[in-house]
Amino acid sequence: MKTLKDVKVGETAVVSKLSGEGAVKRRIMDMGVTKGTTISVRKVAPLGDPIEVTVRGYELSIRKADAQMILVD
């Protein structure tokens, strides 16, 4: 399955599942990243971390480690 980390700049994806557990999963969900949400990748930092995405109409920066826990279609 593809993760948010694999999505290229300018592409849009839909969240299919959140892996991870406990506080990390809760923090990602609190940022608005839930199943069925559309995410657009806007930018990637020069060294690849973090990734800037648009979720529910606002910009959000996510670390690659967290982006790897977000499975997308």
For range 16-36, the mean pLDDT? 90
Predicted local distance difference test score (pLDDT) of residue 51: 94
Which pLDDT score is estimated for 8? 93
Give phi and psi for 46, each to the nearest 5: -50, -35
The domain segmentation of the chain, as residue ranges, is 2-72
The predicted pLDDT at position 12 comes to 94
Enter the pTM of the model: 0.85
Per DSSP, the residues of 23-49 read HHHHHHHHTT--TT-EEEEEEE-TTS-
Q: What is the pLDDT of residues 31-71, one digit of tens each?
A: 999 999 999 999 999 988 899 999 999 999 999 999 999 99
Q: How far apart are CA 5 and CA 13, in angstroms?
A: 11
Distance CA 36, CA 38 (A): 7
pLDDT of residue 45: 92
Average pLDDT estimate for 5-14: 93
DSSP class of 8: P
Is CATH 2.30.30.90 the right assignment for the domain spanning 2-72?
yes
